[in-house]
Structure formats: structure tokens, C-alpha cells
Structure 1
Amino acid sequence: MSTSVSGSNVLPVEQYVAGLNRKRMAAGVLFRDARGRVLLVEPSYKPNWEIPGGAVDADESPWAAAEREVAEELGWQRPLGRLLVVDYVLPQDSRPEGVVFVFDGGVLDESDVENVTFPDGEILSAGFYTLTEARDRVKPLLADRLEAAVQAAVQGVTVLCEHGRLLG
């Protein structure tokens, strides 16, 4: 049942909200080493490598999702740094449009990664890679997002991207 305000039809709040578009969300964490290389993880369930992170669950904030994914994938309980990237991702590969957040995980040393255990078997290995080496392991979209994230970390800013590419 709609109500009338000044001659126009207004939907009840529940009906209006039910008709709103939904976007998928994901959150990841950029860890770097002193040489500027980025930490990549090798998933057991797909061929391309990733940064630690994953899908944001229902009723979960992107920052909570990023912390949860780091704990699940690497067994680390670490506070997140600031937001580096907000990336609007176009629909692709049967996936709907989405928004990806990348947070700063800070600078690690090699021993942090050498001593990591993979608690649930989702991740097979992890290591530091240059951006050029990363481009050979990750999807092009993530490679572009990684370049934007590293630039944001170095410059101390947060950047907006569309499908991995910096805006402006």
C-alpha cells in the first residue's frame, strides 16, 4: 500500500529498501616489506594469487572483514592501518558490481612470513613480490589495484579507483 504526499506516490520504507540495488563488498590488506615488495598469498582453491582478504559477510564492516580474513588465512591478530583504496568494480565473470576496500597492514620483515602457519588450509603459501612479479601471479584487476594501494601507502593518502584504475 502506498501513501500519497503532495500528489506523488511514496512507497513504504520496507518496499523501497527491498528494491534497492545490492553490491558485493570485499576487503583486503596490503602488507609490504622494507624493500617495497607486497605480500601475496597462494589460495588452494584457484590459480591466481591474492592479497590477504575476502568477501565482507552480512552485517560485517569492511574493516572487520579484513581483520577476520587475515586471522583466518594467516593466523595473525593485527590491527589494521588506514584505508588505502576504495575500488568500484564493474560486473565481470558472472559476478555483480562491487566495492573493494584495501587497508594498510604495515611493513613486515621476512621472518614474519617465514613463521606463518596456514590455519585452515585455504592458503598454501605466502611471500613478498615486487609489483612486476605480482602482475604475473594475480589477475590484472588486482595488479592495478596493488599499484594504486602501494602509491597510496607511500603518499599517505586514500585513493579512489574504478575497476582497479586510479580516478583522475
Structure 2
Amino acid sequence: MTTSNSSSRSAAAVLPVEQYVAGLARKRMAAGVLFRDSANRVLLVQPSYKPNFEIPGGAVEEDESPWAAAQREVREEIGSDQPLGRLLVVDYVRPQDSRPEGVIFVFDGGLLTDDDVAAMKFAESEILSADFHTLEEARGRVKPLLADRLEVALDAVRLGLTVICEQGRRVA
């Protein structure tokens, strides 16, 4: 009898935890990679499905880490299996443009050459082109939030830090 009472109490104790977990907020996650050239210009890709340019990367899928998502997206978008470097930026973003709040991770992709870019194999019908841009040029091609994040990511590379942001602005 003690065993059945014990089992009943265990089942009852699990239910509130499941209810708690079911009620937790859901946040979207995305991961991108900052590639640079020797002049400290950033690599931007031109997607076919939206007007603004991006850094290689995308949404983190279910049961996938941000690190694995960044590696997968780089392989899919530009055909590179180059190992990724350290985490540069973690950016909390508020809900916007019908998207829920989220957390964006930016990893260091290291230095590339023009020859590396010329050898890239773009995802069929997803990426139209890729090229290096100064931060000023990038500001004219990407959304303001990404432009701010790129500036912080370049600082993170220079300072050897991982930077915490809210809306692309450094908070720690």
C-alpha cells in the first residue's frame, strides 16, 4: 500500500511542473554569423524573398542549438563548412513586424577573402548574392536593428568580448 500512495504522490507532484512548463513564454531564436574581410568589411547576403540584406543565418529549429543552427544556415546559404568561432552577441528583441519577442545569437565566422566569396555556392532560389560592405554601406542595405547589431559585433571582435544587447544596443 505504501508503494501505491507513493506513486500517487509522485504523479500528483509531476502535474504542477508540467502545467508550469506548459505556461512558460515561447521565444523565437535566430543565429547568424559575422564574416569579415581584412579591411573589416562585413559579409552580407542578398535573400531572394525580402528586400533587405542579411548576414548568413536564420531561425533556430526545434531541438536545435543556436550554434548548430548557425552552422546549418551557413552551409545551406553559402555552402561553407568553415568552423565557426566564438559567440559575439546575444541580443534580446521585442515583438515587431508581427514577430514575437526573441533572442538572436551572432557567432564569429572569421576572415574571408574575395576568392572565398567567389567560391560560395548559394542556396538555390534563396540567396542571390554575397559581398563585403563597410558598416556605413551595410546601414543602407540592412534593417536598422541588424545595423546596430553589426556595429556591436564588430566591437566584440575587436575587444575579444561577448556582448549582451537589447534591440541591438549594448547593455553589458
Which residues in structure 2 correspond to 1:57-136 (within 5 Å)? 57-136=61-140
- 1:79 CA displacement: 1.1
Say yes or no: does 1:53 pair with 2:57. yes
Partner-residue secondary structure (3-state), 1:54: strand
Per-residue CA deviation, residues 5-57 of structure 1 (Å, 9 max, x unaligned), is: xxxxx962111111000100000000000000000000000000000000000
Contact 1:23 1:96 in 2 (8 A): yes
TM-score, length of structure 2 as denominator length:
0.90
- 1:119 CA displacement: 3.2
- 1:120 CA displacement: 2.3
Say yes or no: does 1:142 pair with 2:143. no
Letter in 1 for 2:117: V
Per-residue CA deviation, residues 45-82 of structure 1 (Å, 9 max, x unaligned), is: 00000000000000000000000000000011121100
Contact 1:33 1:107 in 2 (8 A): yes
* Runs of at least 5 residues in structure 1 that lack an aligned partner in the other structure: 5-9
Aligned to 1:166: 170
Aligned to 2:22: 18
The count of corresponding residues between Structure 1 and Structure 2 is 162
Per-residue CA deviation, residues 109-135 of structure 1 (Å, 9 max, x unaligned), is: 110001212132210000000000000
Worse overlay, 65-74 or 10-19: 10-19
TM-score, length of structure 1 as denominator length:
0.92
Aligned to 1:41: 45
Contact 1:86 1:159 in 2 (8 A): yes
Say yes or no: does 1:28 pair with 2:32. yes
Q: Which has the higher helix share?
A: 2
Q: Look at both structures and tell me which one has the larger radius of gyration over its CA atoms.
A: 2
Partner-residue secondary structure (3-state), 1:47: coil
Aligned-CA RMSD value: 1.7
Partner-residue secondary structure (3-state), 1:20: coil
Instruction: Provide the C-alpha distance between the structure 2 equivalents of 1:119 and 1:37, rounded to a whole number of angstroms.
Output: 22
Aligned to 1:7: none
Q: Which has the higher strand share?
A: 1
- 1:136 CA displacement: 0.2
Letter in 2 for 1:76: S
Partner-residue secondary structure (3-state), 1:26: strand
Aligned-pair identity (%): 73
Letter in 2 for 1:119: A
Partner-residue secondary structure (3-state), 2:121: coil
Instruction: Provide the C-alpha distance between the structure 1 equivalents of 2:50 and 2:40, rounded to a whole number of angstroms.
Output: 26
* Runs of at least 5 residues in structure 2 that lack an aligned partner in the other structure: 1-8
Letter in 2 for 1:121: S
